[in-house]
Amino acid sequence: MTTSYEYDVLVMGAGLAGMRAALAAHEAGARVAIMTKVHPVRSHSNAAQGGINAAMMDRGDDWEEHAFETVKGSDYLADQDAVEILAQEAGREILTLEHMGVIFNRNEEGRLGTRRFGGQKRARTFFVSDFTGQAMLHVLFEQLMKARVPVFEEWFVTSLVKDTDGRCAGLIGFEIRTGQFALVKAKAVIIASGGLGRVFEPSTNALICTGDGMAIAYRAGAPLMDMEMVQYHPTTLKEKGLLITEAARGESAYLLNCDGERFMKRYAPNMMELASRDVVSRAEQTEINEGRGVDGCVLLDCRHLGRRLIHERLRQISEEVHSFAGIDLTKEPIPIQPGMHYQMGGIKTDVDGRCWDVHGAWAGVPGLFAAGETACLSLHGGNRLGANSLLDTVVFGRRAGRCAADYAREVPTPHVPDSTVGMEQQAISALLSRHANRDSIAAIRQEMGVAMHSHLGVFRDQEGMMTAKGTLEALRDRYSRVSVQDKGRVFNTSLIRALELGFMLDCAETIVYSALLRRESRGAHFRTDYLHRDDVEWLKHILLYRQPDGSSRVEYFPVRLTRWEPKVRIY
Amino acid sequence: MPYFQEYQLNMDRADTVLDALMHIRDTLDESLTLRCSCRGAICGSCGMRINGHAALACKTKVQAMVSERGVVQVEPMNNMPVIKDLVTDMAGFWDKVRQVQPWLQPAGPEPEGEYLASSESMNHLTGVMGCIMCGACVSDCAALEVDERFVGPAALAKAYRFVADPRDGAGRSRLLALNEPGGMWDCTRCMECIEVCPKGVGPMDRIMLLRSRGIQANVPSTCGSRHAEVFADLIYQKGRLDEPMLAARTFGLRNLSRLLSLLPMIFRAFVRGKVPKSGPLHRAIPGMEKIRRLFQRMEERL
Amino acid sequence: MKFAFFPGCVSKGGCPELYQSVMEVYPRLGLELEEMTTASCTGAGVLQEKDLKLGDVLNARTFALAEQSGLPIMTICSTCQGVMSQANHRLTTDPPYLAAVNEILGEEGLTYRGTTQIRHFVWILLEELGEQGIRQQVRRPLKNLRAAPFYGCYLQRPSEALGFQDQPERARSLELIMSWLGLEVVDFPGKTRCCGFPLLTINEKNSLRMVASHTLDAKRHGADILVTPCPLCHLNLDGMQSRAASQQQADIDLPIWHLPQLLGLAMGMEAKRLGLTRHLVSTQGVLDKLGSAVAKIEA
């Protein structure tokens, strides 16, 4: 037995982008609901630690400077019109958040305080100690409770549905608690389901970051863009893969090799530890590969910062390293290594979150929107600056929400055949009824993660990536036959992990495919066989469209330049 | 019917209980069901009882929990219905959080820029804002165990977050609501919530601060507020507690029937010499003027 | 060993049998006690609800007085211990706070330097006498007595303020001592839970539910008696037991003993001198069970 629901705007994902979009759509008068596979405050946005960027004009800051630093940080792959909007609207979003109740840090005058962050000369990162993401996420959830926006909490989305004209018509999913399927119809769907970190092993990402939304959109015919641009964060805790915020470096922590040398002076003499993340990660990996590491890591030294500062501004990581590695960071340096952290690529959208071009320059799925890490405008191009992701989620979450509400007002209710849900249920039942073999979901997941980390990590080359491609093909085959041991309806996490693995394999394939295509090094995509950036041939985005046979069709889309011509990137 | 299932594992010295549970799930029993996500004590998903006390599985080391017999006992959180294995239904938890109207209610017109707020006030709030809503405090709350109407430590800590926010204009009405039965006076001060909170929020400390603020804001008196005020007054008078007087004045004349119903017990205590001298017969400690001076000095600063 | 003895308000008020039994046992333990007659009540956590800093100032004064006499403080009440430990923790980990408090104390000519040790009688038994010291004191092994421990919240939490990191055995202090006295220690989940006393005048129903829950649980696990180091717990568990029983419509009838009474009995002292006749829930049945070794008590 299935049930069906109907809304104007439906949001998939309840992180910062999802909730911001839902609130904006709600304020614009739309009937909006959120579907999320975990309770909103469990979303991975809460792991963002360091802060949120904004150039506030009344403090003598300059949005153009912030925009330029973002473009430079992206290694010139970012679309500059989108970046301009990000920088221009940032100040206003910070104030909106503060008015909602976020407990941003203050200076002596009682005004909002700032700290420095990577890739930026000026201190324009607003923050809440070192748990800014959590602080923002909980406040947005408070606002959601206040506005009484309906939330399908712990509902797992399995696919996007389209009407007979190919327009987005809603989502199908099941209530995790009961296994009950439903079709949730909507005139507009905003996918804000976050990143795909678990495709890599290890990763800073939570276990829920499995690229669900990207895969669902991709399967429905939406293009995924710049999938090869995967960010490795410079400071993740040795072996555990847990994030140590860039804010530590923002507060002047040092990076040291086994000789106690601040090695960044050889790679980025001006910005040192606060160069862009891809530069720092590569520097660290080089030090490690060339034998100047300590046990496969380098050291993050916070000792000179003093107890008081650490207690006020870095309390969370102080607790974290003590709890998870037994280290007192006022007394010892922390062993860290680069770890997979963020996906710059994602579902292609315009500056209003639309996954189709109203002018027809590229094709997508009308009625489908995306925001946050799931989307790719592109804001972050080949490398994202720290504290820009939190900003991305709220600026473009709001824009997508508002645009979706406006769009929903103009279109009629979509028609979806009743049989859709039944077919979906049957597919799931078929998966559940497979007989056990010696294989397991967990094993396939692990092997995929290790292969991606080994060959699509900080340094890439043709041979490695072809190996990864082969591994994925074999894993795909095994996936088609692997069984789910838990056959029950109630809270079947076994089934969820199986479905998530399917999404991750789809995403992994697009990452490898794009990485093989891009024959240059740009931002986070660094090929030892194509060392240089090639603006003549490659100042463009790679869009992938899924074919019925599972392969990808490629389209290219030129980067949109407004003010800044690509230059050599030196930090 | 709930039952325990035993799994034998070899784990590494540095492994957490979550590592162990995921290991079971990945290699021994795929049907083991639990909530987990960030592995880094920030999402609040993996709250459960480990060796009888609520904790985050991702933050608890196996080595610290292993008993002499080599066993670690893991159960779902208490004070919540169980859905399956280690997964509890947190709908009731969230209902109580919603009860305290957990969103900023600023007074007056919205400023152009940010609300001005002192650095101290915002830094102070980082303690209680650190709450990740994991449910550990609610699981082990002794008051909730005997009375599910109690709003609970998580909701109260959240309420404090707003009462202490200088930008919130609804402080008084919040305190009035918390002054009701099931609110801030129903905490039994057992400190379980302080002990089990993985983020150092100290819910009970916040509840005590709410009580202070309630008294300062002159909320309608209840046995709870009278108890605290009378206690302080008795120490001011005599330096040490006059228990019968404390009971009598806490109940007040309105609750005379309560006091009278206790007479049989009081009589039995009396014949055993367990009813101390009260009122004028209760002796003050020597040097009371020193104690009173301290009270006066503290009163001045308020 | 000499201590500044802080008996607290209840052992001199509603639970005089506690004070009485401590006075009986301490001389034989090699302890010297100098009672702090000018120290105020700790506030019991209740005064702190009205004004936390006032509580800290009052307790800082008590610590300073002990410091002046060069003596560590001994408490006999879990609540006194816990409240003092928490206050001391705040004062000794926040120098500006201590300085501000000292400014106020200074007007009386007192300063607290932060060196005062405050320990519950149970911890002193554990740490100063230890297993050997305790076993040596036993003249009358309490065989056939099955006793369950009930610590009282303030002696278990927060563990940081109570020094459990440096002295982890404190978490089991009561059980260790009880086992050294030769009796059978009954373990049950409620041993570290709340007796409900703080709620007694505020929400009696809930308070008595807790009394019933933990006493019945201890009984179900086979306990003949419950032993507690906190007179406030005693007031609720013993004093209000019959009321709790009728509220929950159950038979409880579980005698509640103070730890010094148990110690005294094991040391060969008379039940009456230890105040064992003063309880509201009669201890006669248990004393009978212990047999001819225990002197009969006149009713």
- Whether the pLDDT of residue B58 is over 90: the answer is yes
| Average pLDDT of the residues in C8-28 | 96
Distance between CA atoms of residues A37 and A212, nearest Å: 10
The partner residue sitting opposite A491, judged by closest CB among B33, B36, B129, is B33
For residue A119, the model assigns a pLDDT of 77
- Which residues of chain C have a CB within 8 Å of the CB of B273? 16, 278
pLDDT tens profile C123-174: 999 999 999 999 999 998 888 899 999 999 999 999 999 999 999 999 999 9
| Average pLDDT of the residues in A414-432 | 90
C219 vs A480, B40, C237, CA distance in Å?
A: 58, 41, 13
DSSP chain C: -EEEEE-TTGGGTT-HHHHHHHHHHGGGGT-EEEE-TTPPP--TTTHHHH-HHHHHHHHHHHHHHHHHHT--EEES-HHHHHHHHHHHHHHHH-HHHHHHHHHHHHTTT----S---EEEHHHHIIIIIHHHHHHHH-SS--TT-EEEE---GGGTSSTTTTTTTT-GGGGGHHHHHHHHTTPEEPP-GGGGS---GGGTTT-HHHHHHHHHHHHHHHHHTT-SEEEES-HHHHIIIIITHHHHHHHHT------EEEHHHHHHHHTT--TTTTTTTS-SS--HHHHHHHGGGS-----
Residue type, B215: I
Annotated domain spans of chain B: 17-88, 91-216, 223-301
User: Does B228 contact chain C (CB < 8 Å)?
Assistant: yes
Distance between CA atoms of residues C76 and C261, nearest Å: 12
Q: Which residue has the higher pLDDT, A396 or A322?
A: A396
Contacts of C66 (CB under 8 A, 6+ apart): C4, C36, C72, C73, C116
Distance between CA atoms of residues A376 and B239, nearest Å: 69
- Which residues of chain C have a CB within 8 Å of the CB of B147? 203, 205-206, 209
CB contact under 8 A, C47 and B185: no
- Which residues of chain C have a CB within 8 Å of the CB of B164? none
- Both tokens of residue B32? 């083991």
Q: Which residue out of C6, C19, C50 would a mutagenesis test of the B interface target, given it has the greatest number of B Cβ atoms within 10 Å?
A: C50
Q: What share of chain A is helix, strand, coil (3-state, %, to 5)?
A: 40, 20, 40
For residue C299, the model assigns a pLDDT of 34
CB contact under 8 A, B231 and C43: yes
DSSP C148-182: EE---GGGTSSTTTTTTTT-GGGGGHHHHHHHHTT
- Which residues of chain A have a CB within 8 Å of the CB of B165? 101, 103
Length of chain A: 571
Cβ-contact B209, C51 below 8 angstroms: no
The partner residue sitting opposite B116, judged by closest CB among A110, A131, A177, is A110
- Closest Cα to residue A245, out of A523, A43, A47, A16? A47
Minimal-distance CA residue of chain C relative to B298: C54
| Average pLDDT of the residues in A209-215 | 98
- Which residues of chain B have a CB within 8 Å of the CB of A41? 43-44, 132-133
Whether C131-293 and C2-119 are alike in CATH topology: the answer is no
For residue C297, the model assigns a pLDDT of 41
Sole residue written with tokens 């006032």? C54
Alpha helices, DSSP H, located in chain B: 17-23, 62-65, 91-99, 119-129, 136-140, 142-146, 153-163, 171-178, 192-196, 203-216, 223-238, 243-251, 256-261, 263-271, 288-301
For residue C257, the model assigns a pLDDT of 97
CB contact under 8 A, C50 and B232: yes
Q: Residue C243 burial by CB count (10 A; 0-12/13-18/19+): exposed, middle or buried? A: buried
Q: How far is CA A203 from the centre of its chain?
A: 12
CB contact under 8 A, C157 and B224: no
Minimal-distance CA residue of chain A relative to B43: A42
| Average pLDDT of the residues in A15-43 | 98
Distance between CA atoms of residues C67 and C70, nearest Å: 5
Rounded mean pLDDT of chain B? 95
Subunit partners of chain A (3 or more CB pairs within 8 A): B
DSSP state of A111: S
Options 3.40.50.2000, 3.40.50.11810, 3.40.50.80, 3.40.50.10320; CATH of C131-293: 3.40.50.11810
Report the catalytic residues of A.
233, 249
A506 vs A77, A195, A211, A375, A550, CA distance in Å?
A: 24, 13, 9, 16, 9
User: Does B278 contact chain C (CB < 8 Å)?
Assistant: no
- Whether the pLDDT of residue A535 is over 90: the answer is yes
- Both tokens of residue B136? 């550990």
Question: In a 3-state reduction of DSSP, which class is residue B56?
Answer: strand
Query: What does DSSP say about strands A230-237 and A334-343: parallel, antiparallel, or unpaired?
Result: antiparallel
Distance between CA atoms of residues A10 and A501, nearest Å: 24
Q: Which residue out of A45, A137, A142 would a mutagenesis test of the B interface target, given it has the greatest number of B Cβ atoms within 10 Å?
A: A142
- CA C52, C54, C57, C59 dihedral sign is negative
* The CA-based dihedral angle spanning residues A263, A268, A270, A274, taken in that order and rounded to the nearest 10 degrees: -80
Distance between CA atoms of residues C4 and C76, nearest Å: 12
**Domains observed in chain A:** 8-151+189-230+342-410 (3.50.50.60), 231-341 (3.90.700.10)
Rounded mean pLDDT of chain C? 94
| Average pLDDT of the residues in B173-202 | 97
- Which residues of chain B have a CB within 8 Å of the CB of A104? 114, 122
**Cα diameter, chain B:** 73
What's the CA angle centered on A206, arms A201 and A211, to 5 degrees?
Answer: 75
| Average pLDDT of the residues in C8-24 | 96
The partner residue sitting opposite B212, judged by closest CB among C37, C51, C156, is C51
pLDDT tens profile B148-179: 999 999 999 999 999 999 999 999 999 999 99
Q: For residue C277, how many C-alpha atoms fall within 13 Å in the half-sphere facing its CB?
A: 12
Alpha helices, DSSP H, located in A169-276: 212-219, 247-250
This model of the complex carries an ipTM of: 0.95
Options 3.10.20.30, 2.40.50.100, 3.30.70.600, 3.30.70.120; CATH of B17-88: 3.10.20.30
pLDDT tens profile B220-257: 999 999 999 999 999 999 999 999 999 999 988 777 78
Question: Where does the pLDDT of residue A487 fall: very low under 50, low under 70, confident under 90, or very high at 90 and above?
Answer: very high
How near does any CA of chain B get to the CA of C158, in Å?
5
For residue A131, the model assigns a pLDDT of 93
| Average pLDDT of the residues in C213-231 | 97
- Both tokens of residue A130? 């070192």
The partner residue sitting opposite C206, judged by closest CB among B143, B243, B290, is B143
- Which residues of chain C have a CB within 8 Å of the CB of B206? none
| Average pLDDT of the residues in A248-258 | 92
Rounded mean pLDDT of chain A? 94
Question: Where does the pLDDT of residue A239 fall: very low under 50, low under 70, confident under 90, or very high at 90 and above?
Answer: confident
For residue C298, the model assigns a pLDDT of 37
Q: How many CB atoms lie within 10 A of CB A272?
A: 18
How near does any CA of chain B get to the CA of C274, in Å?
13
For residue C296, the model assigns a pLDDT of 46
For residue A245, the model assigns a pLDDT of 86
CB contact under 8 A, A44 and B37: yes
- Which residues of chain A have a CB within 8 Å of the CB of B39? 206-207, 240, 242
Question: Where does the pLDDT of residue B302 fall: very low under 50, low under 70, confident under 90, or very high at 90 and above?
Answer: low
- Which residues of chain B have a CB within 8 Å of the CB of A324? 40, 59
How near does any CA of chain B get to the CA of C180, in Å?
20
- Which residues of chain A have a CB within 8 Å of the CB of B56? none
Distance between CA atoms of residues C64 and C50, nearest Å: 23
Minimal-distance CA residue of chain C relative to B277: C13
How near does any CA of chain A get to the CA of B132, in Å?
8
A321-343 in b/e form (b: 16+ CB < 10 A) is: bebbbebebeeebbbbbbbbbbb
Cβ-contact A100, A225 below 8 angstroms: no
User: Does B147 contact chain C (CB < 8 Å)?
Assistant: yes
CB contact under 8 A, A95 and B114: yes
* H or E segment and range at residue A235: strand A230-237
- Closest Cα to residue A167, out of A460, A496, A410, A386? A410
Architecture of the structural domain at C2-119:
Up-down Bundle (1.20)
Subunit partners of chain B (3 or more CB pairs within 8 A): A, C
User: Does B294 contact chain C (CB < 8 Å)?
Assistant: yes
* H or E segment and range at residue A6: strand A3-12
How near does any CA of chain B get to the CA of A209, in Å?
9
Minimal-distance CA residue of chain B relative to A141: B103
pLDDT tens profile C79-137: 999 999 999 999 999 999 999 999 999 999 999 999 999 999 999 999 999 999 999 99
For residue A60, the model assigns a pLDDT of 85
Q: Which percentage of chain A shows pLDDT scores above 70? A: 100
Q: Do chains B and C touch (3 or more CB pairs under 8 A)?
A: yes
The partner residue sitting opposite B295, judged by closest CB among C41, C54, C108, is C54
How near does any CA of chain A get to the CA of B301, in Å?
24
Question: Where does the pLDDT of residue A369 fall: very low under 50, low under 70, confident under 90, or very high at 90 and above?
Answer: very high
Distance between CA atoms of residues C54 and A405, nearest Å: 56
For residue C141, the model assigns a pLDDT of 83
- Both tokens of residue B41? 């004590």
Q: Which residue out of B5, B13, B43 would a mutagenesis test of the A interface target, given it has the greatest number of A Cβ atoms within 10 Å?
A: B43
- Closest Cα to residue B267, out of A300, C280, C171, C172? C280
- Whether the pLDDT of residue A550 is over 60: the answer is yes
Minimal-distance CA residue of chain B relative to A438: B27
DSSP A347-405: EE--TTSBSS-TTSSS---TTEEE-GGGEESSSSTT-PPTTHHHHHHHHHHHHHHHHHH
Minimal-distance CA residue of chain C relative to B148: C206
Minimal-distance CA residue of chain B relative to C210: B146
Give the CATH number of domain B91-216: 1.10.1060.10
Annotated domain spans of chain C: 2-119, 131-293
A218 vs A138, A214, A545, B50, C17, CA distance in Å?
A: 30, 6, 7, 42, 78
Distance between CA atoms of residues A261 and A294, nearest Å: 12
Least confident of A65-74, A111-120, A290-299, C34-43: A111-120
The partner residue sitting opposite A46, judged by closest CB among B43, B87, B123, is B43
User: Does B232 contact chain C (CB < 8 Å)?
Assistant: yes
pLDDT tens profile A261-275: 999 999 999 999 999
- Whether the pLDDT of residue A200 is over 80: the answer is yes
